[in-house]
A and B are shown apart, each in its own frame.
Chain A
Amino acid sequence: MLRQQVTPLETDVLVIGAGGAGMYAALEAAKAGADVILADRSLIGRGGATVMAQMTVAVALGEQTPDHWEHHLTDTLAAGRGLCDEKLAAILCEDGPRRIREMDDWKVGWARENGHIKQVQAPGHDRPRCVYVDFLSTGPAVSKTLRAQLNDTDGVRRIGDLLITDITVCDGEACGATALHVSSGRIVSIAAKAVVIATGGLTRLYRRNSASSNMGGDGYALALRAGAELIDMEFVQFFPIGHLAPRLVGMDPIMWDPFRYKLGGKLLNAEMREFENDYATRDTRSDGRYVLTRDLATYAITKEVEAGRGTPAGGAYLSFQHVSPEEIRRAFGPVVDRLAANGIDLAHQPIEVAPIAHYHMGGIRVSDTLETGIAGLFACGEAIGGANGANRLSGNAITESFVFGARAGHHAARKAKQRPMPSLGAAGAAIDFLRSAEQRDAPNVANSIVALQSLMADYVGPFRTEDKLRIAIDRLAEMTCNLGDRPLASSSDSFDPMLIDWLDLRSMLLVAQAVALPALSRTESRGAHQREDHLGLDDAWQLNQIVAMTDGGLRIKATNEMVAA
């Protein structure tokens, strides 16, 4: 069995995850003189959320209209409903322009108009602020650009098919990681002077989601098991108008937002009546084109469906029938043909949309140098919590991946310079754990993952009650018990999907609890966390909840003190 062999590696900085944040972290760490290993469980720059992004990147460039990063910050804090870590949010907004211009220098191809970078309006922003790459190509263009930069950078070793299973901690400091090399089945033990978690969010926990299959919250589980803290885990962002019907293949389910940015678009219920204004008085931050921010639009669609005014597939209609075919073609060019191949003609028919798990506001708790409470362990991108509070402003995700990625890489490299290379000895337990994988009669874990996704969607979705959350928490405990302590393997080591599923479900169950527990204790409704049994904001809850793991169990504490210990 190959799992009996251990392949040793060492590096100054280990970056886990090669989306936008991880690639930027690797580039900046290398720029600061560190040797870097950039590991991804999938292929470099292909998995994760960045490559799926289609349009908006929020940044106060002032190219379209005069702007200042403090205006962007004001909007970010307002969207966050009082829970943002203001220091992290300010870093995001202040450093954004520098990184967006750096990407421009690297020829990412931001859309231009009249000689300047074009910036469009997006919900929750006080002015046109969002840059993008045509047509619906922001994510692929960003990934390609960062991959090209990595290709030209010395000292970054990129390793795909490398699934990190545990962070190694020696004397309270991060000193490397243990990994499964997926394609060969080999165990890899990495000694590192600093480790950066850039694994993205947890949307795979939900039945309908808009992210890659590898966004199962790996980084949160790694951080918890290493002894680091998570923050704001109850806040999962649902994107209100994820594609629902007819079946659309080859396109990202959140693709309709860019259409709305450019063309308007009407949300209609089954009576073909616009309903957004029925819910709009609750939000004072409306703009002309967009009536509702994401959390309120999710609420509005869900309530229309509950009231029996949903579409046949259980959502709302989104109609562009008021726009001429010529205008649709001008705005989206070749995308129109891809839609036609799916049998969709926007000028003549509405499509159906419904809320879909899209982004996680919560995440690993970090200081303003992106370091966790475990020395030498850093995190960045969607994997961290704090900058976006209870609800993320649209367009901030790609910006934060660049800004926090670069900053985490820089500080990880500085940390690495101060430390000797750790020995590999401390990884013994994690290696033995992988070696213990066995073939046995057990329920199909691929099926259990689907059951978990349904449980989370039905009981820990955007609208929650104490009863539903308690059912979910009990069921999660039962599933954890059923999974067992020993990894399940198939008959062969190479690319073993059963072992990967088992390791994934282990992490997903832990992370699901880390969402459900603070959701139960937060007895109010705020941003993306809506409690149907506790309506409205409660000022006493203007604080953040921290999740940590002790003796194998999760504990929750509340704080309004935002600096990591």
Chain B
Amino acid sequence: MKALLSIQRGEPDLASRVETFEVTFEPGQSVLDGLRMVRRDRDPSLAFRFSCINANACKECMMLIDGEVEYACTARLKEGTTTLAPLPKKALIRDLVTEIAPPDERLERPLRRK
């Protein structure tokens, strides 16, 4: 089966663009599987966060999938077009990557002393 992933790409302060990739999938595969296929076969510069791949344990792959906030590792690929965009209320870093770390776990944060 074929899925079309329509992905919002770009960086802060630049106009975003939408690029569409076709991926071949088997029923049951996740959107994250599809994104990894795009990087492997088409465009290795596509940026998205993930760590645990499949377990929904790391909670890093959250993004906007067809307009809803979802985890890419649990949302399934479907035939036809799926739109993917970065989380709207988080600062954009690149493509589907946003700043989701708690503020005191970022590089910019100084050493905290109580």
What is the interface of chain A, defined by CB distance below 8 A to chain B? 7, 35, 42-44, 46-48, 51-52, 139-140, 154-155, 157-162, 181, 183-184, 186, 188, 212-214, 246-253, 342-343, 444-447, 450, 490-492, 494-498, 501
Contacts and interface: CB of A to CB of B under 8 A. Distances in A.
A496 B97 CA distance: 11
A501 B46 CA distance: 12
Interface of B: 11, 26-30, 39-41, 44-47, 50-60, 71, 73-74, 76, 93-95, 97, 99-101, 104-107, 109-114
Contacts of A491: 45
Given A250-B74, A447-B44, A139 B57 contact: yes
Given A161-B101, A161-B107, A491-B45, A247 B26 contact: yes
Nearest to B48: A497
A497 B46 CA distance: 7
Nearest to B111: A157
Contacts of B27: 247
Contact of B57 (A252, A343, A446, A497): A252
A31 to B, nearest CB: 15
27 contacts: A35-B111, A43-B101, A43-B105, A46-B52, A47-B60, A52-B55, A154-B114, A157-B112, A158-B105, A159-B109, A160-B106, A181-B107, A183-B99, A184-B107, A250-B73, A250-B74, A252-B54, A444-B41, A445-B44, A447-B40, A494-B94, A495-B95, A496-B47, A497-B45, A498-B44, A498-B45, A501-B44
Contacts of B28: 246-249, 342-343
B74 A249 contact: yes
Contacts of B112: 154, 157
A155 B54 contact: no
Nearest to A159: B107
For the residues of A in contact with B, the DSSP-based class is: loop
B54 A51 contact: no
Nearest to A442: B44
A294 B110 CA distance: 46
Greatest chain A CB density within 10 A among B41, B52, B56, B106 is at: B52
B93 A183 contact: yes
A343 B45 CA distance: 34
Nearest to A245: B28
A343 B27 CA distance: 11
Main SS at interface, chain B: loop
B51 A47 contact: yes
B111 A46 contact: no
A498 B51 CA distance: 16
Contact of B47 (A184, A248, A495): A495
B44 A42 contact: no
A387 B92 CA distance: 44
A141 to B, nearest CB: 11
Contacts of A51: 52, 57-58
A276 B28 CA distance: 30
B54 A250 contact: yes
A494 B11 contact: yes
B106 A490 contact: no
Contact of A492 (B76, B94, B105): B94
A290 B73 CA distance: 32
The 4 lowest CB-CB distance pairs between A and B, nearest first, are: A247-B28, A252-B55, A250-B74, A490-B45
A7 B109 CA distance: 13
A492 B113 contact: no
A47 B105 CA distance: 14
Contacts of A159: 105-107, 109
Contact of A212 (B26, B53, B110, B113): B53
B44 A497 contact: yes
Contacts of A501: 44
Given A51-B58, A247-B28, A495-B93, A43 B45 contact: no
Contacts of B93: 183, 494-495
A157 B105 CA distance: 7
Given A48-B51, A157-B110, 16 more contacts: A35-B111, A43-B58, A43-B105, A44-B105, A46-B57, A160-B101, A161-B106, A246-B28, A250-B55, A251-B54, A343-B28, A444-B44, A446-B39, A495-B93, A496-B47, A497-B45
A221 B14 CA distance: 37
For A48, A158, A250, A445, the residue with the greatest tally of chain B CB atoms inside 10 Å of its CB is: A250
A451 B59 CA distance: 27
Contact of A495 (B54, B59, B97, B101): B97
A343 B114 CA distance: 51
Contacts of A42: 51, 58, 60
A188 B107 contact: yes
B111 A212 contact: no
A250 B56 contact: yes
